[in-house]
Structure 1
Amino acid sequence: MRVNTYRFRDTWLLSAPVPAVFDAVVDVAGYPRWWPDVREVSRLDDDTAVLVCRAALPYALTIRMRRAEEDPRTGRMRVHLSGDLEGSLAAVVLGQPGGTRLEITQQVLATKPLLRTLSPLARPVFRANHALMMRRGRRGLQAHLNAAGAR
């Protein structure tokens, strides 16, 4: 595996029904309302958006997301990523007692020159930055769902 290739697996446990979680996650344009590290979203068309993300480290990532799969019946969604990260992100929402489990898998190649250059040394820092972003995303989504009355 190349040093600038990353695989992330995250599980978000949310106290909200599956349809509410699914709808919030596929509404990419709404991410800045609840995910503090998604600074900006620009819709290019019905299937494509450009996101600008920045967590704790002093750089932003610009990522183009193109919908590849979105099936509310099975709770599955998948997007292709390009830009500062190349690869894919897949997620599935599953019902569980008391709410929903959102399983997220990302397989990406860091293409931003800064990340490519620093990956050999800063890989643990980049992974920690990603973990922080995902924690804040889960908390933000739960707060958003609570405010919307999704129980």
Structure 2
Amino acid sequence: MNIIIYTVVILTLFYFILKFLTNISPKKISKSLRILIIFGSIILAILFAIGGKFLLSLPLTLISLGLMKLKGLSLFQLFSLFRLLQTLRSSGRFNFSQSSTTNNTTMTVSEAYKILNLDMKKKITKEDVNKAYVNIQKKIHPDVSPETARLSAIVNEAKEVVLRNIS
């Protein structure tokens, strides 16, 4: 008998929740759901971290970072920027000490393609180069963040190297 009563109560609550949601705009629902997921994943990540389950807290933290935008950068854009930094560091063109500034044009064509995230094997047009350049500059332009001025200069150089290679 208790199962029938619980089922009726749950279905009644479900009905009223659905009726309430039909009167709310989809943007409000989306925003509220996003906030709920962010806070829920942060709380679960903290609980897992306190419990010592760090491997379980990492995906929840990444989900919450992906849903929030950090200074206008999504999680995917942060990974792209990290990959750009790794490419530049492995070629010796970027490090975190401000004393070493290398402005000589020793960038290879393959490095320039990697920096602009272009495939050397495909036929690249000027429009493709400019589109890739604009996408990266939107993330790292000095107007967005003054700390990225060196990165922006390197991306400018990469664009010039690729454009010279195409022509």
Give your verdict on TM over 0.5.
Answer: no
Structure with higher strand content: 1
**Relative contact order (alpha carbons < 8 A, sep ≥ 6): 1 or 2 greater?**
1
Name the structure where helix makes up a greater proportion of residues: 2
> TM-score normalized by structure 2?
0.23
Greater Rg, structure 1 or structure 2? 2
Q: TM-score normalized by structure 1?
A: 0.25
